[in-house]
Amino acid sequence: MGGDFGPEVVIAGAAKALERHPDVTFVLFGLKEDCEPHLQKYPKLRERSVFHECELAVGMDEKPSQALRRGRYVSTMWRAIEAVKRDEADVAVSAGNTGALMAMAKFCLRTMAHVERPAIAGIWPTLKGESIVLDIGATIGADAQQLMDFALMGGAMARALFETDRPTVGLLNVGVEEVKGLEEVKEAGRLIREANLPTIAYHGFVEGDDIGKGTVDVVVTEGFTGNIALKTAEGTARQISQLLRDAMSRTFLAKMGYLLAKGAFDLLREKMDPRKVNGGVFLGLNGIVIKSHGSTDPEGFAAAIDVGYDMARNRLTEKIAEDLRIYHARHQPPAGPEAA
């Protein structure tokens, strides 16, 4: 029910995802009168899904506290997350209100052991392929230990998504020199470096332009900076697309040039298409929740389902829990009389 277009996009996106992953089944939660007309258009999806009618849907403009108070147990969003908690679904995917989704996911699924605050991880197109950036909006401000945990969780996601044994991890900073940056970032660098973990290869500090270069597999930052970086990159991509369209339609020769180079422009458009990398992953919870852009179309929502499919198939939650357990077992301060 969430997003700018509700069931029209979500159901069509699920139908597209089913074409790519015929082994998937869907559990749909919605308001029947809104969903039924769209479900009728996709008989194959209808055969591979179970529909649960709900009492209400969370509004896109509701505050998280209001949505949690009003929609707990009965809303489409809550019941989708609850299906993951009850092992009735492997992944919950929503295009709805981000704050409400995070609040409900934290309340329903709870955070993993050792995780103080969850993060949202986004997949970022780069010159080398794709990278993971986290946090992109869940945690505003983070201390060194939280950034350390983000590095562990992002590394586990990279292993699940990119199928690499030891992904490279960098901390986003105002410079690559060790003396630069906030104390929390410098301390996080020390923690990651001294941990010498077998599951991640610490690269050091990276700058903003390193994200697009693909310098590392995982870029770690706190949610305020990460969200601004994300929105800036999306806006820049749209700006470049518009400038190219304007330039190519300005004169007759420009239009002819566009026709001659159409293949190259089509490839560029595909590389810059934000729908291809839609789907932010909530990390640090006892279950997988994927947040789709609210303004996406069916292709973009299908891409968010694709991310959830890969995360479930590659056992993301188990990987994160195991990495956190090993790290904190090695670095837990001694308890009892010996600690005094």
CB atoms within 10 A of CB 165: 8
192/266 same-domain check? yes
Instruction: List Cβ neighbours of 16 (8 Å cut-off, separation of 6 or more).
Output: 298, 299, 301, 302
| 11 and 90 housed in the same domain | yes
Give the chain as a 3 state SS string.
CCCCCCHHHHHHHHHHHHHHCCCCCEEEEECHHHHHHHHCCCHHHHHCEEEEECCECCCCCCCHHHHHHHHCCCEHHHHHHHHHHCCCCCEEEECCCHHHHHHHHHHHHCECCCCCCCEEEEEEEECCEEEEEECCCCCCCCCHHHHHHHHHHHHHHHHHHHCCCCCEEEEECCCCCCCCCCHHHHHHHHHHHHHCCCCCEEEEEECHHHHHHCCCCEEECCHHHHHHHHHHHHHHHHHHHHHHHHHHCCCHHHHHHHHHCHHHHHHHHHHCCHHHHCCEEEECECCEEEECCCCCCHHHHHHHHHHHHHHHHCCHHHHHHHHHHHHHHHHCCCCCHHHC
pTM for the full model?
Answer: 0.85
Which residue among 81, 109, 137 closes a domain?
109
CB atoms within 10 A of CB 202: 20
Same domain as 94, residue 126:
no
Strands 119-126 and 280-283: antiparallel
User: 40 and 159 share a domain?
Assistant: no
Residue 225 domain-assigned?
A: yes
Domains held by the chain: number: 2
Kindly state whether residue 298 falls inside one of the protein's structural domains.
no
Q: What is the CATH number of the domain that holds 226?
A: 3.40.718.10
Q: Which residues contact 313 (CB under 8 A, 6 or more apart)?
A: none
Tell me, yes or no, whether 338 lies in a domain.
no
Residues 232, 85 share a domain: no
Domain end position, chosen among 109, 140, 175: 109
- Structural domain including 254 reads 121-279+315-328
Is residue 303 situated within a structural domain?
no
Residue 291 maps to a domain: no
Instruction: Give the phi and the psi of residue 290 in degrees, each rounded to 5.
Output: -115, 130
Residues 218, 127, single domain; the answer is yes
In a domain, 55, yes or no: yes
Residues 151 and 242 in one domain: yes
- Asked whether residue 287 is domain-assigned, the answer is no
130: β partners: 125
Q: What is the pLDDT along the chain (340 residues), one digit of tens a residue?
A: 988 899 999 999 999 999 999 999 999 999 999 999 999 999 999 999 999 999 899 998 889 888 888 888 899 999 999 999 999 999 999 999 998 999 999 999 999 988 888 999 998 888 888 899 998 888 788 899 999 999 999 999 998 888 788 999 999 999 888 878 889 999 999 999 988 888 899 999 999 999 989 999 999 999 899 889 888 887 877 787 778 777 777 787 777 776 777 676 666 666 666 667 788 899 999 999 999 988 889 999 999 999 999 999 989 898 888 888 888 887 765 554 444 4
Query: Is the same domain home to 140 and 252?
Result: yes
Judge whether 96 lies within some domain.
yes
Is the same domain home to 233 and 143?
Answer: yes
Same domain, 245 and 323: yes
Domain boundary among 76, 109, 142: 109
The reply to whether 127 and 192 lie within a common domain is yes
Residue pair 133/229 in contact (Cβ under 8 Å)? The answer is yes
Do the Cβ atoms of 219 and 207 come closer than 8 Å? no
- Residue 45, token pair as written in the block: 């999806």
In a shared domain, residues 27 and 144: no
